[in-house]
Structure 1
């Protein structure tokens, strides 16, 4: 069904139907009743393009992201998309292939060439951070995650405090220090690494050299095997759950036991972590909720409501079977 079908059944002009849909101008009660009756009879639902033509306002939002497949990215995008769809917005997703100037500028140029109501940036990695520096500010922009930027609205998870709590937990188990396997950061140091360091500094513990993994969980396998050869390693905090699963596999393949020889913890709350062997101790981040909170900030920007520009939630620690006291400690 089209707007023309509604106009024909209601015996009014197409502009009259448009005015009823948008409330842009006064329509007589009789005509309004006929249009509303026709809409109901025909079960008419204007698509995004039609709504834009009628209202002269775009009904599409875009997401700039460095990835769509990894857990945190995919769940955040899902939260944005579900909220946008509920409000009648279409969603365009553009992947920034890498953090080079050329790749970032190309992704932005292609994206902003479309009529957009707003633009989300997933600030999970170097691509997202670079994009925020280059995006034109003539459309509403909302950042998700990353370092706090007071110049734009932002939805976040308090990774610093959560990582600090996770490291504190391992120290409370009796470990002398905690080694850290980092995922590729969005800047020189991300919130997970910052929280880990804060905990160790406060406890006056040695801060080991950071080990860098890629986004590929297989990189964690090699690191796990390497760490198991070191007698000073009893606890490992991995930058995400997928890398933690790889580290566990590497330790097990090298003949080690988790957590009896080495405790391994992750971050994010990947669904597979609960059924991994052993089940993974982690910080459970609600990325879908962050996406929804991000869309609410965007809606306020689009509608000019002047609401709050910052939303942060602290994710909880969930202790499972991959962590415990160090070797030789009382495990009762």
Structure 2
């Protein structure tokens, strides 16, 4: 039998016995060091850690979980992973989880349908996770899986409050009110709205708050322009709005649609903000570099993530069902808004 060369042999991960032999200590001492126990002398701990580094030893998380009952891992299900808000929120989850000593197990939800969500929950249930965060615009889909998520600590990042689970989100309605009232304060008689997709609770909350704010100030509520979060849908809505000379103010439900609407206005010869003012929602990094720079509603995705991870860890480690108020937004005023043409008076009411 021909012996295989060293680099062709099957690699075997170093074991706790290998580390003990390398460091000249007992396997029990290695176990204590791996589990962060403070009963090992510093000199001995340093020897063990050095041996782990030399051998490339990694503690067995499954075995550790059998002892502690925890995997130090949070599962995350995210719908529409490519969207700006979800990407920023996921980044913030990873940062907050790491600070708390947890890692993330991500399961993207590629199909926004009941079968897709049920499948994602099934897949993540098979993984070694201590808790679950679900980022879902259409939270009604969870109703069919309430028994499933009741078996694991879960926090949902979603708008709306008509649900039985622990949830957190940006204050979507407050942000829409800020945007609408800003345009009214500049002297615009009313504000047109390019809304997000019908299935989105965030889009619904923003559209409802926009309409309510106009009614509270005794203004006409124009027909809603449909959108789907994309610049293309904002461009299509902008082309329709640009053709109406009565349109002087537009609130788009996200920055991407605001960008599309601004392009359509420019192509139609409608100056922004000289002829039409435009406000977005998100405050994505590029919004300050639009032409002109975009007035928009800033979402604090990091604060949402901090609240979500904190509430989930409270449930995991302390069995506490904590709640949190929606995270407030902030209006960032830039050069895309101004008083309407021929108006030197700003008023609200």
TM range (shorter): 0.7 to 0.9
Higher Cα Rg: structure 1 or 2?
2
Which among 127, 132, 145 is matched to residue 134 of structure 1? 145
Counterpart mapping for 1:94-243 below 5 A:
94-123=107-136, 125-126=137-138, 128-131=139-142, 133-135=144-146, 136=148, 137-148=150-161, 151-184=164-197, 185-187=199-201, 190-243=204-257
- Calculate the aligned-residue CA RMSD, in Å: 2.7
Residue range with higher mean Cα deviation, 39-48 or 254-263: 39-48
Structure-1 residue corresponding to 2:287? 273
Contact 1:96 1:104 in 2 (8 A): yes
1:9-41 deviations in Å (ceiling 9; x for gaps): 25212x5533454479xx9x5x56565233443
Contact 2:75 2:132 in 1 (8 A): yes
> 3-state DSSP class of the match of 1:282?
strand
1:206-258 deviations in Å (ceiling 9; x for gaps): 11121111132111111111101012211111000111011101111122111
How far apart in 2 are the matches of 1:242 and 1:75? 15
How far apart in 1 are the matches of 2:17 and 2:221? 69
Structure 1 residue 11 and structure 2 residue 19: aligned?
Answer: no
TM-score by length of 1: 0.88
1:279-324 deviations in Å (ceiling 9; x for gaps): 0000111212311221111111110152732243211101111111
How far apart in 1 are the matches of 2:202 and 2:322? 28
Structure 1 residue 247 and structure 2 residue 256: aligned?
Answer: no
- Cα gap change, 1:289 to 1:3, in 2 (>3 Å): farther
> 3-state DSSP class of the match of 2:272?
coil
How far apart in 1 are the matches of 2:299 and 2:217? 25
How far apart in 2 are the matches of 1:149 and 1:301? 21
Contact 1:6 1:35 in 2 (8 A): no
Which among 32, 45, 62 is matched to residue 36 of structure 1? 45
How far apart in 2 are the matches of 1:35 and 1:132? 53
Shift of 1:59: 2.5
Shift of 1:54: 5.0
How far apart in 2 are the matches of 1:213 and 1:150? 26
How far apart in 2 are the matches of 1:228 and 1:72? 28
How far apart in 2 are the matches of 1:76 and 1:98? 19
Which among 329, 334, 347 is matched to residue 315 of structure 1? 329
After TM superposition, where is structure 1 displaced by more than 6 Å over at least 4 residues in a row? none
- Cα gap change, 1:326 to 1:115, in 2 (>3 Å): same
TM-score by length of 2: 0.84
- Flag structure 1 segments of 5+ consecutive residues without an equivalent: none
> 3-state DSSP class of the match of 2:31?
helix
- Cα gap change, 1:202 to 1:4, in 2 (>3 Å): farther
Structure 1 residue 302 and structure 2 residue 311: aligned?
Answer: no
> 3-state DSSP class of the match of 1:190?
helix
